[in-house]
Structure 1
Amino acid sequence: MINKFKTNNSWEEIIIVGYGNHAKTKIIPAIQKTCSGKISILTNKEIDTKNFLKYTSLYESFKGNLNKLFVLTNPPSMHYFFCNEILTNGFDVFVEKPAFLRKNEFKNLTCLAKSKNLIIYEMLMYLENQTVRKAIKIINSKKEDVHSIFASFTIPSYPLNTYRNEKDFANSLITDIGCYPISFINELNYKVQNIKINNYYKSIDKNPLFEIKFNINNIKIDSLVGVTKIYTNFLRIIFKNNNFIEIDPFFYGRSFKKNLNVFSNNEIKKFLKEDDNAFEKIFSMKREVFLLNQESRFKKMNKTISLFEKLEKQWLNIKNNNFS
């Protein structure tokens, strides 16, 4: 397959922290296609050291004079500690979503990054897809015409053998999946006044499903996240004249043909739109690009964290009353 992106030589070494399925199947292949730097893995797992240099200690990985990028794929509860250490030692860091859940921690990290001219990037790859950018542009340009927005992202079974366990907010599905619709809403020209878990459902096997409502003047925005019998991943934009646009799948980072359904004049038109691999697109971007748009990213990330802090109190109340 031909690589559509130019080789990125911004970093001499790219260190993947954590070696789960996400890193193996999405992140590492994208880096191999787009970056000239060598790839190393920080993990306690057994790996094929013929292909990668292995570190077992974070501080061991700081040694040497190479220009390094760290890519965190470990659980959210570990992000702040690792980011703080990495930035303190003078290296850029990409962080798997959700990156951070505390405003005070994020403030500390952004101050550190700015003082050292370093990068913090939250890996919400779907935001780089052409169909997603087009949806954002449509909504923002037709703001007064939009009646409601509905997003659904549900999975058919609870992820096993992962950090997700519902024992605390950082390790919950509502942060793992909820970061998608929340980050999307923060790309729009709407001021979110509040966020609320409107409904909570629990299936026979006790898996969680949440209906999240965004409080915004003159527009209804809702999202469904959690576990259902079938996989859902779509965004529907409904206009005041009852026309709508639906994109399925929507929150998706890899190259894929997406269903675009447009209802207008009492007729549905169906299209297939193929997006490039957003993982490859991100890792092909030069370091200077991330620094250039970093202030804008930080503001959006801070908004997302603020909404998560509001959700956490509601989630804890539900957990204490419903979770086993």
Structure 2
Amino acid sequence: MTTRSDPGHGHPDPGLDAVMSERRHLVNLAYRLLGSLTEAEDAVQETYTRWYAMSRQQQEAIKSPGAWLTTVASRVCLTVLGSARVRRETYVGEWIPEPLPGGAEWIGGRQGGASVDPADRVTLDESVSLAFLVVLESMTPAERVAFVLHDVFCHSFAEVAEIVGRTPGACRQLASSARRRVRAARPSAGVASGRSDVVGAFKVAWEAKDIEALIGLLDPDATATADGGGLATTFLHPIVGGERIAHAWAELARRRPADTVLLERTVNGRPGLVAQQDGVTVTVFAFEVVGDRIRNIWVMRNPEKIGRWTTGWHRGPPTRVRPLPEPS
């Protein structure tokens, strides 16, 4: 985005740095609200477009540009969430939030492989774990916005009310309802952890097609969920039960092309796995580990969601594929 000059003087806009310094905060907020970095970037771009559509006098009349940008970005996201719920009714298979690489693995830009501005990287903490984002997906748009703004970003309910268009009391109820969803989704026993040793052991057992070892690493009630979006081959419905998942993963190992390489990588701040073929990431695996057992596995194969994991990524025309048959 180019620097604007003061009319008639050719001097840089003194407020530009302050406005642009909000970008990282806005991207962080929008990603948590939308679960898609692509949509988050678009929402932030729309926010800045609205800022620069105003005259200099209108901009200077705004006491807190940061608060204005946050309000507009949140409202844009609220609109996107409403339309996304309709779009996902026709989505092929399960919808999983877009996975984020760790700092060392952040490779692709938006298009043409452009490098990513470090300021655009999302801060990796508990609020972007796949387990947390999946719970957010179960909320209504208003619940999600109220909860994320208040509980994650510490905005007052008065501020949330201005954004959501409801009373502070109503926003308090929305956040409370969302909080109950989060509590209900938390493990009843044990503490969710980011144990890389469990994920590493799973990788070894998987490569060895060791079903018994896989069963020992999986919670008996574990769930595996895949997202291909109709653009990559995968199973359409979640696989429930550690033993069923172990057998399914052993079968995947037998079908896996010989040139596939499994790598241990950070996915949304937690230990995960990445499958690559000829240097191209074809699958991203995220895990929720509770105690010393894997409770959830999320399998991302939709190329529109995992392109950032491959150098030179750019959006191409979608190609529809048939899903894998359901495991017995």
* Pair in the same fold by TM > 0.5: no
Higher relative contact order (CA 8 A, sep 6+): 2
TM-score, normalisation: structure 2: 0.24
Please state which structure has a larger fraction of its residues in strand: 1
Please state which structure has a larger fraction of its residues in helix: 2
TM-score, normalisation: structure 1: 0.24
